[in-house]
Amino acid sequence: MRGGPGQLLAGRYRLTDRPGPLRAHAVDERTGESVLLSALELPALLTAGQDPEEAAAAQADRLVRRVAAVGSAAPVAHPRLLRGVGAFVEGELLWTVEERPAGRTVAELLADGPLPPYRAAELAADLAGALRALHAAGLIHGNVTAESVLVCEDGAAMLGGLLAGVAQEALAEELGGPGGRRRYEVRATLVGPVAERWPLDGGPAGDCWALGVLVQRLVTGRAPYPERGVPELVTAVRDGRREPAVVCGPLAPLVERLLQPDPVLRPTAEAVRGELAELLAGAPEPVDGDRVTQSRTGDGPGPKPEAPPVPRQPRLRGGKAGGSRAGGSARKGGNGGDFGAGSGAKPPRIPPSLLGPLLVGGVFALLVLGIVAVVLFAG
């Protein structure tokens, strides 16, 4: 069932928008929350000696239970994880549901161009915190991509796509078996040439490898591996043929270790989070006010600011911001010039408080001189 805005799915999700044929935004009428629905087509399994409809129903039930098991095991209310709500089958589609607060995906942000390295480090620190929580719970994400990461209005990154990734992997196994060529072909159709989805190994190390790919994508606007097709992408990953991480600037050493072919040499999500926290602690003050956000380590709640941030002062030629609240604000002189610290103007020699007495004294001296001149002239 491919519904449009206004349609009700599963008796509770009222569609509000359809950004794609297999994606929909909706409102959960039970809770009032905004959610994202992601769908997978469920082709009927033609099993010998079994009714096709019964086989498809059994397949759908297995998939829903598998997705639900992962959702129930995921950390609850983690500040950097989008909460998976559940899964259901309607018509020929398997839908997964996750919360969707206001924000933009990383894919949408990158449509405007790459991000500065330290902004990418902030987002990566958030994601490393989310992965650390998942790995501690014994779960693998497997879907760390630009489409699954949401950057919220407060600037924090939240990792989503967990249930959608689980559904894709489960369906690939259902249709193609536990391994082999058939499963690879089905998975290639479901996932496509997205570099983050094709690590050489699974487990937590595979998630960290995907994070390294995503970080390089954030900084450069492209993946370090070719994405023209799945066969070429998989071959490049296997052969280690990629763009050098040096293009990532201060993030290059970390990205290089994350993309190590040997999973034992890759840092864990916890180590990544700690290294990024140190990098951000020594980050230079940003200049672009549109990119300014507070540094995070991936575990903070990231509340929205109560008031808009105060715009930063422009940098001077020497590289220091001008003006401080303590006393660096400019003062106006009588000629309209600025007399702030460092402005180059000299302060007045005579304090304003002495100008009045001096003026009165000057007038009195002139009167005395006038009287003396009259007496001398008359004498």
Region label for 316, one of left (φ > 0), alpha (ψ between -120 and 50) or beta (otherwise): beta
The pLDDT score that the predictor gives to residue 129 is: 98
Return the bridge partners of 99, or none. Answer: 35
* pLDDT score at 111: 97
Fold of 8-283: Transferase(Phosphotransferase); domain 1 (1.10.510)
HEC sequence for 144-186: CCCCCEEEECCCCEEECCHHHHHHHHHHHHHHHCCCCHHHHHH
CA-based nearest residue to 253, from 142, 113, 117, 107? 117
- CB proximity list for 42: less than 8 A, separation 6 or greater: 56, 59, 60, 63, 89, 92, 93, 94, 171
Give the whole-angstrom CA distance, residue 109 versus residue 42. 32
| 128, containing H or E segment | helix 117-136
Dihedral sign, Cα of residue 216, residue 221, residue 226, residue 228: positive
> For the chain, what is the largest distance between any 2 Cα atoms, rounded to a whole number of angstroms?
145
Question: Where in the chain are the domains?
Answer: 8-283
pTM metric for this prediction: 0.74
Name the amino acid, one letter, at 51: D
DSSP state string for 237-254: HHHT----GGGGGGGHHH
> Along the 379 residues of the chain, how does pLDDT read in single tens digits?
456 788 999 999 999 998 888 999 999 999 999 999 999 988 864 333 445 566 667 778 889 999 999 999 999 889 999 999 999 998 889 999 999 999 999 999 999 999 999 999 999 999 999 999 999 999 999 999 999 999 999 999 999 999 999 999 999 998 888 888 999 999 999 999 999 999 999 999 999 999 999 999 999 999 999 999 999 999 999 999 999 999 999 999 999 999 999 999 999 999 999 999 999 999 886 644 343 344 344 454 443 333 333 333 333 223 333 333 333 333 333 333 332 333 344 444 555 555 566 666 666 667 667 665 655 555 5
The whole-angstrom separation of Cα 244 and Cα 251 is 12
DSSP state of 352: G
Q: What is the pLDDT of residue 324?
A: 33
The CA distance from 278 to 269, in Å, is: 14
The pLDDT of residue 363 is 60
The region, left, alpha or beta by phi > 0 then psi within -120 to 50, assigned to residue 142 is left
Backbone angles phi, psi at 95, to 5 degrees: -105, 135
Q: Give the pairing type, strands 84-90 and 8-9.
A: unpaired
Return the H-helix or E-strand segment holding 357: helix 355-378
Residue 321, strand partner residues = 315
Per DSSP bridges, beta strands 149-152 and 103-105 are antiparallel
Could you give the 3-state DSSP secondary structure of residue 14?
strand
